[in-house]
Chain A
């Protein structure tokens, strides 16, 4: 064991920080101070800048447009992006689909789909959850039946993040109705403009539309859009969810939230002086900070562990569970720091016409979107495997109960 950070790692962090500070456009950076969801045009501009530097998908293999960075370097890169409040990139394309296409796609699929993802030209949505297949994903019903050189897709996906932006969707579909639930699933790439695809926005309790329902009615998908082998979709989905096993900790986001809380609570007034100086609030914040430090060092342990390392697996199992809890707690504390205005309805997006335009008299950039974020983060312990499912997995796979 040796906990000293190598000189090269320090140097790498400064290289990344310098690049971001110089390259991130000022107007995007200013909007990043709001807790809005990033605008699509901001994300696209930023991705083109990153792509020019060769940094839009560092975790992909170098020959497909990625880098040969170590897991620690990739983590530091993400950490610095969050520090600078750069727009959150198209996660579905870069983090979820990209690695699957890199690993299991044909050369033709790689050549067609990867470059537009890297450059932010095409956006992807993830079609996994269905009305009756949430945490129990293997019970999904959307079916794809072979008809010549096409699949005919019928069914419904839901909770589809950013599907209203998306140009394409990667979906888990059932291609074999008699096989065991997990064995009959395939991984299909579907152009959202294909006839028979419709989408309906879901307005969530944060007052925003990030989630959608997607319907498939006799949608014809070329067989060339099947990734890997038919019936192996479940293992690709598992690969995808495990690929960056530290991402689900969202620890850098929560670190950024804590800086924001400190900022807001320094400005917030109480009869006894700034809120940050009051004992109960300061103690809550200190406790959250300590927990985030423990989470971050858990991430570091996982980044340095090899696959199949028992200690590494044990600590990896907590990242989503605890990371999502801390993420929500940070958002709740930020809203608390706003006092009266912490309950004011504020949109999470600048571009939504349907959200109220009347805003409370909040002048600080960092206060905008905070209360909506508190609502949005209620989902953190639900998506990506609810906390109850995570605990069962830990009990069974790590503790052997």
Chain B
């Protein structure tokens, strides 16, 4: 075990830092958020050119072999600056799902195009009735000729309004399959809306949609999606660590500056103790993020516990740090023109994404295990 960055990891972290220092002022971010996509396609190409999209992929899949730590470093930096480009939806969730899907010519070409920044992909998997249960799918796939038709409703599909390709899960008799769908195809409707933090998402309706090909046949589609979700959960928790860290720094600077009753807010013990608790939550989230990354390589049950413990803790911490960052700013923390409220909104969304605290505590309840490793 080693908790310090290798030279390569440090170089990546530094490069991410330079990127957001250069590209992400509060004002430029605001402009990008107000654009049609809600992010910049130029910056997405820049991210591709930097080699980050495939940073975690193995070299045989056209990546750079940085593994999930590479993605976590990128996402932590993106969390600090509230970066808007669809790294989570395309470069982690969709890319990792595909990377774990059975090999095929279509899959390989899609991976290549994603890594090159040529296509944006969204995974349409979650449904409202699933309530955070990643294994629940109601959408239906039926055979038609050599292909399939799909029927169903997918909710909160990250990146779907801008996606060139949708990866859709649907259930047939043999189980859940993974299908490739063109969002512009007949009978596909993407209802775009914004999440609280201004990011573009959509609900997707499929009404007898023809899918030429299954990326993973029914019965073998769930496993790659669950792996993709595991990686996305690590990514989003790393983003939370970055956002909490930035929110804590902003708040610390503010309470040292702001004076009331003849003293800096930071002189009041109630404020000091609240900030100490925020730091504790941040550090525990970082610790359990590392645990989650380690857990990605564990066998099934251990992995579920590791990932769900990570998300349960991080969801709760994100809410605690986000809410109290606004609290300690006072009324100005409620304003659109002040950064801290944007951090809170992102942390709020993160706390609920891919299963909230309750959903992940439920998963822990369903997969009991001992704390002590077995020895040979």
A contact residues vs B (CB 8 Å cutoff): 1-6, 9-10, 13-14, 17, 72, 79-80, 83, 255, 258-259, 262, 279, 282-283, 285-287, 289-298, 300-301, 304-305, 311, 314-315, 317-318, 321-322, 388, 390-392, 394-396, 398-401
Contacts and interface: CB of A to CB of B under 8 A. Distances in A.
B362 interface: yes
Given A301-B287, A314-B283, A388-B273, 8 more contacts: A259-B371, A300-B287, A304-B4, A321-B276, A391-B276, A395-B275, A398-B279, A399-B275
B311 to A, nearest CB: 9
Contact of A301 (B271, B290, B365, B368): B290
A291 B288 CA distance: 9
B370 interface: yes
Contact of B266 (A317, A318, A388, A401): A401
Nearest to A266: B368
Given A3-B293, A6-B1, A398-B279, A291 B273 contact: no
Nearest to A1: B69
A90 B362 CA distance: 40
A294 B371 CA distance: 12
B283 A304 contact: no
Contact of A2 (B1, B276, B375): B1
17 contacts: A1-B3, A1-B6, A3-B290, A3-B291, A10-B373, A80-B372, A259-B371, A285-B365, A290-B312, A293-B313, A294-B284, A294-B309, A295-B284, A315-B287, A317-B279, A395-B275, A399-B275
A262 B279 CA distance: 31
Interface in B329-376: 358, 360-362, 364-365, 368, 370-373, 375-376
A283 B361 contact: yes
Contact of A392 (B252, B269, B313, B370): B269
B286 interface: yes
A401 B272 contact: yes
Q: Which 4 A-B pairs have the closest CB atoms?
A: A395-B272, A14-B375, A3-B294, A297-B287
A201 to B, nearest CB: 35
A392 B1 CA distance: 32
Contacts of A394: 276, 279-280
Contact of A1 (B272, B290, B306): B290
Interface size class of B (residues with CB under 8 A): 35 or more
Nearest to A262: B368
Nearest to B297: A4
B293 A395 contact: no
Nearest to A321: B280
B256 to A, nearest CB: 7
Interface in B1-18: 1-6, 9
Contacts of B372: 79-80, 83, 255
Given A401-B256, A401-B266, A10 B1 contact: no
Contacts of A292: 371
Nearest to B9: A1
Contacts of B252: 399-401
B255 interface: yes
A293 B291 contact: yes
A293 B292 CA distance: 10
A305 B161 CA distance: 45
B97 interface: no
Contacts of B272: 391-392, 395-396, 399, 401
Given A293-B288, A297-B287, A298-B287, A399 B3 contact: no
Given A289-B309, A321-B280, A304 B2 contact: yes
A315 B308 CA distance: 22
Given A322-B280, A392-B273, A301 B288 contact: no
B213 interface: no
A298 B283 contact: yes
A295 B290 CA distance: 12
B285 interface: yes
A88 B255 CA distance: 44
Nearest to A276: B368
Contacts of B3: 1, 300-301, 304-305, 311
A318 B317 CA distance: 14
